């Protein structure tokens, strides 16, 4: 079972060119069963009004499950999960925040929850993109950890947390959420994609999922690098 997490920056590459086709090509090279994307645009003016979830679905052949964390009129900005697996349940949960709504970096954040059926049973995949403010990130860590405490299936948490592994918010999430950091052994940076210096994009998983491999892909189709992992589908 392969999963990728990728902040696609609305398809904007480090060369200043916006191309969802280039993002899709990167994803298709991995042949993942589940793809968790952040910063996905739906009909935003600066991405030429393109419906990026729909276009990604067309290009990859996987259904797209998109929910906007922020929007104005018919335009939306948020998280999108693509998967070829049967989906049993879909839900978006808002994340709490302390920063004032009028501040530019305090956009609403959310958690996209997709429950999938695999050959080994049901798995719950959480897709998220955290705030730039450390106070909001700590609230997100505590809130998500409380949600994970009630999950009975094996689970994966994927996303751009805007925080390094040693940060108090990431450590809080790991310990309280009963999570394993799939990228801990390699500890490869994921941002910025042209000269990576910080690891802020993660794949976390519950102990019932045996990890087989993890890699960070080399592409400048976005300002982040995608992280891909493979788990044994016949989990415990």
Q: Which residue segment(s) compose the domain that 197 sits in?
A: 2-231
19 part of a folded domain = yes
54 part of a folded domain = yes
- For residue 70, give the CATH number of its domain: 3.60.10.10
Residue 104, burial from CB neighbour count under 10 angstroms (0-12, 13-18, 19+): exposed
180 part of a folded domain = yes
137 part of a folded domain = yes
CB–CB of 138/170 below 8 Å? Answer: no
Sheet containing 201-205: which strands, arranged edge to edge?
Answer: 87-94, 110-118, 121-129, 155-160, 201-205, 180-181
Q: pLDDT digit of tens for each residue in the chain (236 aa)? A: 999 999 999 999 999 999 999 999 999 999 999 999 999 999 999 899 999 999 999 999 999 999 999 887 889 999 999 999 999 999 999 999 886 555 545 589 999 999 999 999 999 999 999 999 999 999 999 999 999 999 999 999 999 999 999 999 999 999 999 999 999 999 999 999 999 999 999 999 999 899 999 999 999 999 999 999 999 988 75
136 part of a folded domain = yes
Cα dihedral value 212, 144, 77, 184, nearest 10: -30
118 part of a folded domain = yes
165 part of a folded domain = yes
- Number of domains composing the chain: 1
Q: 184: which DSSP letter? A: T
pTM exceeds cut of 0.85 = yes
CB–CB of 63/83 below 8 Å? Answer: yes
**Backbone torsions φ then ψ of 124, nearest 5 degrees:** -110, 125
Question: What are the residues facing 160 on neighbouring strands?
Answer: 129, 201
Residue range 34-93, pLDDT digits in tens: 999 999 999 999 899 999 999 999 999 999 999 999 887 889 999 999 999 999 999 999
How many other C-beta atoms are found inside a 10 Å radius of the C-beta of residue 154? 21
236 part of a folded domain = no
């Amino acid at each position: 079972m392969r999963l990728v997490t990728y902040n696609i920056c609305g398809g904007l590459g480090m060369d200043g060119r916006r191309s969802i086709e280039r993002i899709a090509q990167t994803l298709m090279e991995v042949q993942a069963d589940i793809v968790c994307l952040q910063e996905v645009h739906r009909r935003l003016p600066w991405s030429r009004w393109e419906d990026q979830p729909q276009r990604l679905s067309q290009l990859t052949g996987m259904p797209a499950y998109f929910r906007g964390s922020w929007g104005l009129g018919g335009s939306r900005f948020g998280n999108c999960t693509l998967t070829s697996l049967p989906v049993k349940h879909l839900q978006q949960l808002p994340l709490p925040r302390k920063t004032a709504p009028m501040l530019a970096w305090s956009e609403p954040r959310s958690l996209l929850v997709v429950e999938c059926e695999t050959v080994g049973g049901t798995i719950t995949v959480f897709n998220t993109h955290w705030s730039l403010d450390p106070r909001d990130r700590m609230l997100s860590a505590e809130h998500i950890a409380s949600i994970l405490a009630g999950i009975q299936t094996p689970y994966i948490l994927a996303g751009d947390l805007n925080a390094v592994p040693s940060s108090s918010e990431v450590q809080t999430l790991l310990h309280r959420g009963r999570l394993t950091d799939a990228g801990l052994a390699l500890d490869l940076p994921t941002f910025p994609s042209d000269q990576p210096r910080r690891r802020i994009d993660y794949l976390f998983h519950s102990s019932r999922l045996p990890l087989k491999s993890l890699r960070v892909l080399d592409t400048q189709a976005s300002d982040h690098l995608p992280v891909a992992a493979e788990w044994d589908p016949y989990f415990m």
